Structure formats: C-alpha cells, structure tokens
Amino acid sequence: MGAGFAVIFLLFQWLLLVLPSSSLPLCTDLRAPTKTENPLEFCSEYNGSTCCDSRKDLQLQKQFNAMNISDSTCASLLKSILCAMCDPFAADLFKAETGKQQQRRPLPVLCNSTDAGGSHSSKESTTSFCSTVWNACKTISMPNSPFAPSLQGGAGGGAPITSNSSALSDLWQSEDTFCSVFGTSSDSDSVCFNGEPVKLKNSSDSDVPPKGLCLEKLGSDGYINMAPHPDGSNRTFFSNLPGKIWMATIPEQDSGEKLYLDESDPFVDLTDEVLFDTMFGMLGIAFHPDFAKNGRFFASYNCDRLKSPDCAGRCACNSDVNCDPSTFNTTGQHPPCQYQSVIAEFSANGTSLNPSLAKTAKPAEVRRIFTMGLPSTADHGGQILFGPEDRYLYVMMGDGGGKNDPYNFAQNKKSILGKILRLDIDNIPSDKEINDLGLWGSYSIPRDNPYSEDKELAQEIWAMGFKNPWRCSFDAERPSYFVCGDVGEDQYEEVDVVTKGGNYGWGTYEGPILSSPRKPSATNNSSVNQSLIFPVAGYTHAQVDKKIGSAAISGGFFYRADTDPCMSGRYLYGDLYASNIWAATESPENSGNFTTTAIPFRCAHDSPIDCGAIPGTTMPALGYIYSFGQDNRKDIYILASSGVYRVVRPSRCNYPCSKESVKPAAVPTPSPSSPSSGAESVKPLREWLILLLSFFLLERLLNW
C-alpha cells in the first residue's frame, strides 16, 4: 500500500507541474486565506477572504503612517501596495515559495506591462502600474521607505542612501532601474499587482471580463429616471428633469421595434410644481410596491420658495448643526434656502377602474412627504426608491454643496445632509408627533433605523458620509446588496456597498484618498469612533478622458438578465461626462472584493434607431450618461442625453460570448491564434486526470 500511495502522489505532483495550471489563493506563509472575524479597517478592500487579520491590518496601518506621505495620490498608491499583503494571492505577488518563506519579497511584484494583461486582471491602461507609482512618488519625501535598495539586497543599481534620501529619485537612478527591481514583464503566466485585488483570468469563466457591451437605441429623448411598472409587466415609467412622467411599453428583445412612448401624452405633468434649472428639476420617481392596487407614487423634485407658497421647509443649515444660512451662501446670488428639496405623493386612483390599468394620473399633490431648504445649489442628490424587502422609502441626500463640505454636514449625525435616509411612508404620524420628533414631513421612522432611539440625532439616517449619491440600486438577486455611486469632489468617483449605520468617509476622505485635514470633534454627533467604509470600486479623474475636463459617476445595476450571459453578475456603472462604462466583478461572491474592468461598447448594426458614432470611433454617441435603468425582466438600460439604450445579445455586435445560447452566423470563428486554442485546450484533460486520480486516491485511503 505504501509504495502504491507514493506512486500515486508522485504522479499527481507531476501532473500539476507539467500541465498548464493557474495560481491558487495562498498567503505568504502558504496557508489558505480565511474570512476575518472582525472587518479590516485599514485594508478594507480585502474584507472577505483575506490573508490579514486585525493585528496585521493594524501593523500595515502603522507602517503606512510612519512614511508620512504628504501627496494624496502617492499615499493612495502606497497604501494599496502595502495592503497587497492581505490579497488572497499574496504568495504569488510576493513570490513566496515552499521552504523559503523567509526569502519572500518585501513588496509585491508591480505590473510593468502596458497592456494590463497576463494572469492578473485590471483596468486597461496605457501606462504600467510600476510607471504610475514612479511618476506619482518619485519626488515625494517618504521616510522609512519600503523601496530602499538595502531592502532589496542592493540589487538593481540603487543609489547610495544618505540620511536625506527618501524620494524614489533619490534611491533609484531611473524609472527603468526602479521597475526592473520592483516590476515584472507582461509574461502571461505571471501574477503582478496593479493597484487592486488580484483577479486571475483563468480562475473561472465568470472571472473573464466580457469582450464588450452591445447596445441598441430604442428612443431618442433624454430621460433621467426609469422605474419598471410594479405589476411586473413590460411597461416602464420614464421621467425628465422638467417634471413629466411617461408610461412606455418595452419591446421584446430582437423584435427590431422602438420604445413605444407618446411624448405628447404624459402619464402626469408636474412641470408647474418643479423648478427646472441647471442644477434643479425632478430628480427621482418611485412607485409604491402596491401601486397596482393603491395607485400611489412619489416624485422628488426642487422648488423655489419665492415663487411657490407651498415650497417652505426648514433650512438644512441651522443652529442644530451649528450653521448660519446667511453665511453659507457666499455668492449673495439668492437668499439662504430659497431652493428646496421636496418629496410629494401623487395618485393614479380615479383615472381608471383599476390603478394597474391607469394610463394617466392626477397632477394634484396628495400629501407632502418631505420638504427641506437647501443651503446651496449643488450636491442635493434627489433619488428615491423603495427597498425590495422592507418596502421603506430610501432617500439619497447630498452634502448641500460647498468645497469639501465646509460645515461637515456629511459627518454630523444631527444633519440629514450627506446621508441616505430611510422613511416609513405607510404609517403617517400626527402633526403633534411630527413636531415633537422634529421630522421634515409626513412620515414615520422605521424602528430598526440605526439612530431611531436617539432623539438628539437625525433618526431618518440609514447611512452617512456621502458627497452626492447619484443613482443607487438594490441587487435583484441579493436584495441586501444596496450599491450607490457617490460623486467625488476633484479626485475620485466611488462605488459603495451601503449597509445600515455605515459611514463612507466624506468629507474626510474622497473615496480612498484623504481629502481634508479636518478631524471630527469627539461628540455624540460625530463619527470619530466609527469605522469608515471605503469604496469597493471607482476611478480617479485621471482615468477618464482628460478632454472632458470633469468627471461624475452614474451608479448602475448588477446585471441579472439572461440576454448577455457573459455580463451576468457584474455591476455596471458609468461616468456622466466621459461616457465611460465599467464592470465591477465580485469574487468570491458575497466577499465584498471587487475587480473593475473598463468595458468597450458599441451599437448593434440592426439597432431600431441609428446610434450615431463619436467622430473617429465606432462608439455610439451617448452624450451624457444621466442614469442606468432596469426593467421587470432585469434587462439594463442606459439613459443618456442622446436617448435610451438597451443592453442586447453580444453577438449582435460580433462580441464573442461562449455562454450565449444562440450564435448567429455573423459571429466570427476564433482564429488559430486565439488563446482558447493554446493552453486552454489541455485544461479539460488536466482537470479530468486530476479528478480521476483524486477519486482513486480517495478510494485507497477509505480502504486503508
């Protein structure tokens, strides 16, 4: 038995060596990653399956703080490099080997490829990550630098270290020298660090980024909101900024039909109520989950109290939050809190025998749910939506404007600015209860809101620390996943997984970047003792088209439709100005570890409406990406200034997708040079042999 076992074991090892293999999740001490009992605070992007515990997380934070890096961009890069120790693939990143644990590299291998290729996955880039680190940090003072040549055994031509040597240009002769020591080439078998958690292309089919996003244009008008009919039909509501809502019929996939929507016949016209201007309008619509029975729906919009007697709410800048509204408006162009945020209830009852069949609604307001005076004209959020499980109304509220949130509203638990609110609109309190509780309108506080028992704080708060949450959504398959895009100031646009009582850092942090030296005061209305939650995805302003001159995220949806199986399970989002689209992939599922890939897109040749093209490209001319939408079949839509676009089968754009069940003849056959015809062809053989040997070995062990 002993000899047979040895033969089997040696054969098994030989197969692992000679047949193509992929990296496995292993830590630098060659143990498997584990799920931490307590969330990591410093290296929070590695919460889930990780190689760090709370003690290691604190050590890395102390190491980072000791470097005292003054430049925010360099600091963000160095933080990500240090935290790579927590990556589930740390053994490969640090080149740890069996029997040589003490000889691992002190830092991960930095990607030195210009194509973001190899076995790691990352954003496409024209600059290697190693070059990015060099350019951002080469002149930045970095005491206790981990890049000191002495830590690398003097290899690579490092400059002699003096007492004042701390910048990379002091320690290394050139970028080429630096990257030859700390980087790696674009070898397809290498694993390297590219500024984000490692994702291996060959780890599973679901980890392979889609080749592209295929779109068709269904309508030519620009809408800002989309809400599927609560009755589950193929009808959907669209709305625009001036204040009109339309009911539309969604055509079947592959029908070649346009969106059926009569612009001249809106479902309801609220333009008399809505202030429509550059920064104002109707920003959100939400239909009650029981709309098909009760006809209730809600609109979130802005109004001008100087023009409308019903537009009169308490100013969000007040003595409760140590804010003087007369000083907040530094431009002097309008009185303090002249402009208001409103949520009002309307009804389709009485326009049809059955609300589900109603084609119009009454423009008369049924009840004012919420009214609040805005300190400024910017950053006032405005989206509303119902939770799919709790049926409460979620309200996205910006920080009220002002550079870096000057009054610290987002971190003040007495303020509702810079927050996501959660309201019960089915249980209406009395006027006395509204006054006693200091509510902003006619709603109740859900008992499980995080501060529902503390009358000194804003009990409406569900989560805090946002600048301007623009487009949030619940995952159709995992309703507990509530994801929001939060617009940045001037450095970073972020995607957050929002949880009860979570603090997302603004205005101390902009995404993962320290944005302000301000420290919250140690009072009960601050977050000084509350752990910050950093983004799961996002992008810097340098990563979008610099010709645009600006950036603003438009949050999207997890793709759950059957139409494009290669996009399944990925979170799609875009940029308002640059018309960039990204897909964030979580792996393993429910881990909170996301890898983001820029997704190319084009228009189907048989689109019902010609998409046009950006000059010099094949990309459709979307214009501004206002929002994303999702219908009752879970198909995803892009609401752009140039029209309504739907995600369709990838083969309609000649994008290959092996999971697509129907492939028209127009789809090109992979060439012999395709990666699928090389090492991948032997992968099934390898897996079959390993499985066979495993069963054989197990049978022998069970019969020992």
Query: What single letter denotes the amino acid at residue 164?
Result: N
Higher pLDDT among residues 693 and 330, named by residue: 330
Q: In the predicted model, what is the mean pLDDT of residues 420-441? A: 94
Query: Taking the domains of the chain in order of start, what are their residue ranges?
Result: 25-203, 213-653
C-alpha span between 443 and 384 (Å, rounded) = 14
Reported as a pLDDT band with limits 50, 70 and 90, residue 207 is low
Q: At what angle do helices 175-182 and 129-137 cross, to 10 degrees?
A: 130
Confidence at residue 573, expressed as pLDDT on a 0 to 100 scale: 97
DSSP code at position 426:
S
Confidence at residue 530, expressed as pLDDT on a 0 to 100 scale: 54
Confidence at residue 667, expressed as pLDDT on a 0 to 100 scale: 36
pLDDT at 448 over 70: yes
Q: In the predicted model, what is the mean pLDDT of residues 78-89? A: 93
Minimum mean pLDDT among 149-153, 332-336, 422-426, 601-605: which range? 149-153
Reported as a pLDDT band with limits 50, 70 and 90, residue 352 is confident
Query: What single letter denotes the amino acid at residue 586?
Result: E
pLDDT at 212 over 90: yes
Instruction: Give the pairing of strands 393-397 and 384-386.
Output: antiparallel
Confidence at residue 123, expressed as pLDDT on a 0 to 100 scale: 35
Reported as a pLDDT band with limits 50, 70 and 90, residue 183 is confident
pTM, full prediction = 0.67
Confidence at residue 200, expressed as pLDDT on a 0 to 100 scale: 60
How far is residue 87 from each of residues 24, 33, 80, 91, 389, measured CA to CA in Å? 12, 8, 10, 9, 33
C-alpha span between 648 and 271 (Å, rounded) = 34
Confidence at residue 647, expressed as pLDDT on a 0 to 100 scale: 98
Non-local (6+) Cβ contacts of 669 within 8 A are: none
Confidence at residue 515, expressed as pLDDT on a 0 to 100 scale: 82
C-alpha span between 42 and 55 (Å, rounded) = 11
Strand, helix or coil for residue 135:
helix
* CATH number listed for the domain at residues 213-653: 2.120.10.30
Reported as a pLDDT band with limits 50, 70 and 90, residue 614 is confident
Confidence at residue 482, expressed as pLDDT on a 0 to 100 scale: 97
Q: In the predicted model, what is the mean pLDDT of residues 61-87? A: 92
Is residue 507 reached through a cis peptide bond, with omega within 30 degrees of 0 on the bond before it?
A: yes
For residues 346-370, b (16+ Cβ closer than 10 Å) or e, as one string? bbbbebeeebbebeebeeebebebb
C-alpha span between 202 and 89 (Å, rounded) = 14
Per DSSP, which regions of 250-295 are E strands? 268-269, 282-287
Non-local (6+) Cβ contacts of 76 within 8 A are: 512, 513
Q: Would you tell me how many other CB atoms lie within 10 Å of the CB of residue 518?
A: 13
pLDDT at 154 over 60: no
pLDDT digits (tens, 9 = 90+) for 262-283: 999 999 999 999 999 888 999 9
For a pLDDT cut of 70, what percent of the chain falls above it?
A: 79
pLDDT digits (tens, 9 = 90+) for 480-506: 899 999 999 989 999 999 999 999 999
Confidence at residue 127, expressed as pLDDT on a 0 to 100 scale: 66
For a pLDDT cut of 90, what percent of the chain falls above it?
A: 54
Non-local (6+) Cβ contacts of 196 within 8 A are: 45, 80, 122, 123, 595, 596
pLDDT digits (tens, 9 = 90+) for 524-571: 444 443 579 999 999 988 887 655 567 999 999 999 999 999 999 999
Confidence at residue 206, expressed as pLDDT on a 0 to 100 scale: 53
Tokens of 470: 């623009």
Q: CB–CB of 426/351 below 8 Å? A: no
Reported as a pLDDT band with limits 50, 70 and 90, residue 237 is very high
Q: In the predicted model, what is the mean pLDDT of residues 66-78? A: 91
Confidence at residue 161, expressed as pLDDT on a 0 to 100 scale: 39
Confidence at residue 279, expressed as pLDDT on a 0 to 100 scale: 86
Confidence at residue 75, expressed as pLDDT on a 0 to 100 scale: 92
C-alpha span between 559 and 415 (Å, rounded) = 34
Confidence at residue 542, expressed as pLDDT on a 0 to 100 scale: 83
Higher pLDDT among residues 693 and 175, named by residue: 175
Identify the bridge partners of residue 474 per DSSP, sorted by sequence position: 482
Q: In the predicted model, what is the mean pLDDT of residues 688-702? A: 40
Q: CB–CB of 155/172 below 8 Å? A: no
pLDDT digits (tens, 9 = 90+) for 561-596: 999 999 999 999 999 987 789 999 998 888 888 999
- Average pLDDT score over the chain: 82
Confidence at residue 594, expressed as pLDDT on a 0 to 100 scale: 92
pLDDT digits (tens, 9 = 90+) for 645-693: 999 999 999 999 988 875 443 333 333 333 333 333 333 444 444 444 4
Q: In the predicted model, what is the mean pLDDT of residues 370-395? A: 95
Instruction: Give the pairing of strands 282-287 and 296-304.
Output: antiparallel
For residues 49-86, b (16+ Cβ closer than 10 Å) or e, as one string? bbbbeeebbeebbeebeebebeebbbbbbbbbbbbbbb
Non-local (6+) Cβ contacts of 226 within 8 A are: 236, 237, 238, 627, 629, 630, 631, 637, 639
Q: CB–CB of 352/412 below 8 Å? A: no
Identify the bridge partners of residue 172 per DSSP, sorted by sequence position: 158
